[in-house]
Structure 1
Amino acid sequence: MESIVDAVLLLAIATIGAALARRLGLLAPLLLLVTGLILSFVPGLLEIHLDHELVLVGILPPLLYVAALQTSLPAFRFNLRPILSLAVGLVVVTAVVIGFALHAIVPAAPLWSCLALGAIVAPPDAVAATAVARRIGLPRRVVTILEGESLLNDATALVMLRVCLAAAAGAVGVLDIGLEIAQAAGGGVLLGLAAAVLAAKLHRRIEEPLLDDAVSLLTPFVVVLVAEALHLSSIVAVVVAGLYLGHRIPQLLSAAARLQMDAVWRLITFLLEGTVFLLVGLQVRDVLRAIETPAPTVVLATAVTIALLLAVRFAWLLPAAYLSRLVPAMRRRDPAPDPGASAVIGWAGMRGVVTLAAALALTPVEVLGVEYPRELLIWIAFATIVVTLLLHGTTLPAFARLMRLRRDDPMQDVLAEAGVQQQASAAARARLDALADGAPEEVVERLRSLSEIRANLAWERLGSQEQETPSRAYARLRREMIDAEREVFRVARDEGRIAEEVLDRAQRGLDLEETQLRKYE
């Protein structure tokens, strides 16, 4: 019963914190992190001890899966070079630099343990990057690169961590490392594709929206469990499955299933994201209590680690954006680098849930049989999460403005949409004319008029934003009409003239129509 109370209290605080953040205009992850920090020092309140397997299997998979579902596969492929440069090259270099620097500061710590910490703190977080980047309205290409990096760098970091822990027993050589990486990453890709193909076949045969939702919810967890059992990269497998299915969802799911699944995943993501950042803050007190290393060494090691994270990211990112253009094929493929965008990507290095899970996964000394300062490493990891979230999360909007980043022109999107909508409406009318034989003339004219309205709507958005367009007037007036209809049905139900089921059916239709009116605004 106590665990249920803690879970409910945790979700309630996360929900209230997110609502308060929106009211105050703050970033919800930052407010929840600070809230967790404060609550961690309240005796007897939410003393939750996280298990790394819960994070890796229960929290991380759905978050990564949703992020992959929402990532544009064409945009991901187009930006694959910078994404791989950050997700693989930068993670490896960061882990090595931090590992050797920390070993110099704390000679008592074996080199393998210092490299393990480097791998733990190297990958920026998918949840934090998405939450902050989309919130402040960064350009679409910058968001794609940050999301792509954070989707793939976790696999690189966790493979490096696994290699470092195996090295503690002296069982790893160069060939072993190569085989480990090839098996984990390559096997993860194959498993993700196989799982995606299987899930796609299931979605194609399912006609009930609830069953589609169930398959979608189960997919990331099944993929992770199978990957862990086969010792493959579960993160790579989940991301590959999400990218594949997200690209094909329009062909796999019905309209009702897509709407319902989107609502379900949005709720799950909202609750999990809030809970994750709250949990990070709640762990700080226990981590502080376990440290036995002298305070000056702790402060120096923590400060050097955080400083190197930022320095190495900029040292890697800015030259890489230009050196790749020395290759003619890359120069033709990649647009000219924007120094401001590169600087913003460099500053957006927030750590989060993967660093948390990897730190908790460090094997206890009594189990591993090798002495190393496990508590110090865990503290540095947690301090990195807190500092980077607070530092980058609070200053990234101002930093983006300082860099005068060229934002995407919304009118370009509207213009492109209008052109495609014109083609879509023409195709719809052609299909209508081909199938209209035998249908009542008034029905055909009504459908043709609806198609013309949808085509005109896109072009109206290019006009003045001050004057009310016909589509906006239609939406405003129709919304008032729907309110009147809804009230009549409610009164009839209260007076006993219709059953509750009749009200529900009418209410569902009116709600769906009201939701569709948003496209006219």
Structure 2
Amino acid sequence: MNPTTGLQMLLLAGGAIAVAAVARRKDWPAPLLLVAAGLLVSPLMPPVALDPELVLFVFLPPLLYSAAFDSSYLRLRDVRRPVALLSVGLVLFTTAVVGLVVHLMLPNLPLAAAFALGAIIAPPDAVAAVAVGRKLGLPRRTLTILIGESLFNDATALTAYRVAIGAAVGGSIDLWEGAREFLVAAAGGVAIGLALAFAFAWLFRHTRDSLVENTLMLLIPFAAYLAAESVHASGVISVVIVGLYLGNQMHLRGFGTRLVSDSVWKVSDFFLETIVFALIGLQLVTVVGGIVGYKPWEVVLYAVVVFLVTVGVRFVWVFAASYMPRLFNRSHVVPPPQQLVVVSWAGMRGVVSLAAAFIIPDIPDREMLLFLTFTTVIATLLVQGLTFPALIRRLGVSSEQERYEDKLAEASAQQAALEAGLAELERLASQDGESDEIRRQVIEQLKEKSWRRSLTAWERLGGGTGQDGAETPSSLYSRLRRDMLQAERQVFVRLRDERRLDDEVLREMMAQLDFEEAMLER
């Protein structure tokens, strides 16, 4: 990289962060503001190339890993049917319908190339939709479906894309070969992901160093992605499997690892997503400049049709997949229509689609395919993204009942954990044998702490042993309190595993205990 390119990337990063900072201060959706800013400044600056390999091998793995790591395996398991229908069925359905429509509009475009375009724009990127949905209180099930779809749909789309491009170059489409390639890639991704997940989990059990563990975590998504892609398996699925497994096992790590991990991935996600959405808007000049041989009205018509078909296909699939099972099973529960509309409208596309379009080989109408991809990504982000909040408010979709139930569950879990912690304290106190005044004071302080969960003078005292070698009050307090905290954590995890506590609530309560344990460190 020459100094000029390096300076350009530095200015890009700085400008994107500044725009994101304004969005956060004004409480605006940062992804949409970044895309709009990129569109505005694109004609005013030298072209900024979007390197597909940079997106697929540098940006995509950590973003996927972070999303999977922060997701709930149990909740995803509960919605596996709708997630599978969206991440596999809808992607293939969109590929076919969009491909046929584009082939009808552009008869000179090979059918395989049209299908490649369909595969490119098929997978939505749920970053913007989930950010808005969380802020406006979408039900947890709806958010989980959108997150699960975004975790797995890239694997389906990229496989379909490779099959279609191979057919466009080779001259024929072999559906059976495509299905076999997808199954092999998916199975390989799962196998590699599980193998790496077990290996890293074993390594973490023997590390016990928060700095080392979090440094390793930064390498895990790249290792999982490259390991799978090197044997032609799905790197996307491999990364997601590792992230889900290690995220579900995070309660086994030390409190320091959890506290540092949360901050590390928040900063990483913010930085990578900021750059990615800015890069999307900055491709305007590059993409539009490649369109030649078409009248302006034709180009606009093609873009509008592809956008409308892409949006319409999602509505058709979501409602059909939700209502058709009722024809065969009358006990099938159909989600409320309001939630189906929200899921249907949450189809914003992202940088993975654009990166895939940039690696299209030299085939007829390549520039038109790139242009249609770009306009679809921009239109879904701006049209659907900007109207998404108003749609949620208009439909009255809310998680208010869930939040109330979470508070009840948290109160119940806190009570159970409190009882477990006090029982552990009584057991430890009885093991100490003869009890002196200092021990009685420390034990009473611990009991009070369990109720108040606030800082005390005992925690601010230093030292471990006195001049006579006896354990000081603060050291005794810290030792006993750590054992109590561990007993409380076990209760929280048990209640989560029994499905009496949601993962989000578990994380919040574990964070409270982690911060308290951090305060015990000298």
For normalisation by structure 1, the TM-score amounts to 0.83
Q: CA deviation at 1:129?
A: 3.1
Work out whether residues 129 and 388 of structure 2, in 8 Å CA contact, stay in contact via their aligned partners in 1: no
AA partner of residue 61 (structure 2) = P
**Residue 188 (1) aligns with residue 186 (2):** no
Query: Aligned pair in 2 of structure 1 residues 361, 127: CA closer, same or farther (>3 Å)?
Result: farther
SS at match of 1:41: helix
Query: Aligned pair in 2 of structure 1 residues 228, 171: CA closer, same or farther (>3 Å)?
Result: farther
AA partner of residue 124 (structure 2) = P
Which of 415, 418, 435 does residue 422 from structure 1 map onto?
Answer: 415
**Residue 257 (1) aligns with residue 257 (2):** yes
AA partner of residue 108 (structure 1) = N
CA distance in 2, matches of 1:219, 1:329: 45
CA distance in 1, matches of 2:201, 2:329: 38
Q: CA deviation at 1:358?
A: 1.2
Work out whether residues 128 and 351 of structure 1, in 8 Å CA contact, stay in contact via their aligned partners in 2: no
Work out whether residues 60 and 353 of structure 1, in 8 Å CA contact, stay in contact via their aligned partners in 2: no
Return 378-387 or 400-409, whichever deviates more.
400-409
Q: CA deviation at 1:84?
A: 0.7
Partner of 1:352: 350
CA distance in 1, matches of 2:66, 2:414: 27
Please give the per-residue CA displacement for 1:2-61, whole angstroms capped at 9, x wherever unaligned: 2332232122112211111122221100111111111111133xx321211110000011
SS at match of 2:95: helix
Q: CA deviation at 1:98?
A: 0.6
SS at match of 2:74: helix
Structure 1's unaligned 5+ residue stretches are 366-370, 455-473, 486-511
CA distance in 2, matches of 1:165, 1:30: 31
Work out whether residues 293 and 376 of structure 1, in 8 Å CA contact, stay in contact via their aligned partners in 2: no
Q: CA deviation at 1:215?
A: 1.1
Return 53-62 or 442-451, whichever deviates more.
442-451
**Residue 114 (1) aligns with residue 107 (2):** no
Query: Aligned pair in 2 of structure 1 residues 515, 187: CA closer, same or farther (>3 Å)?
Result: closer
Partner of 1:22: 24
Query: Aligned pair in 2 of structure 1 residues 377, 273: CA closer, same or farther (>3 Å)?
Result: same
**Residue 381 (1) aligns with residue 373 (2):** yes
Partner of 2:497: none
AA partner of residue 446 (structure 2) = L
Aligned residues: 453
Work out whether residues 23 and 29 of structure 2, in 8 Å CA contact, stay in contact via their aligned partners in 1: yes
Please give the per-residue CA displacement for 1:147-168, whole angstroms capped at 9, x wherever unaligned: 1111111111100000001112
Which of 380, 385, 388 does residue 393 from structure 1 map onto?
Answer: 385
AA partner of residue 163 (structure 2) = V
Q: CA deviation at 1:127?
A: 2.5
Query: Aligned pair in 2 of structure 1 residues 171, 327: CA closer, same or farther (>3 Å)?
Result: same
Partner of 1:230: 231
Work out whether residues 315 and 341 of structure 2, in 8 Å CA contact, stay in contact via their aligned partners in 1: yes
Q: CA deviation at 1:304?
A: 0.9
Partner of 2:444: 445
CA distance in 1, matches of 2:107, 2:259: 56
AA partner of residue 351 (structure 1) = R
Please give the residue correspondences for 1:92-491 in structure 2 after superposition, counting only pairs within 5 Å.
92-168=92-168, 169-170=170-171, 173-251=174-252, 253-294=253-294, 295-326=296-327, 328=329, 331=332, 336-363=334-361, 365=362, 371-409=363-401, 410-437=403-430, 438=432, 440-454=439-453
SS at match of 1:49: coil
AA partner of residue 147 (structure 1) = I
Partner of 2:473: none
Q: CA deviation at 1:326?
A: 4.6
Which of 39, 42, 64 does residue 41 from structure 2 map onto?
Answer: 39
AA partner of residue 387 (structure 2) = T
Work out whether residues 112 and 172 of structure 2, in 8 Å CA contact, stay in contact via their aligned partners in 1: no
Work out whether residues 29 and 132 of structure 2, in 8 Å CA contact, stay in contact via their aligned partners in 1: yes
Partner of 2:49: 49
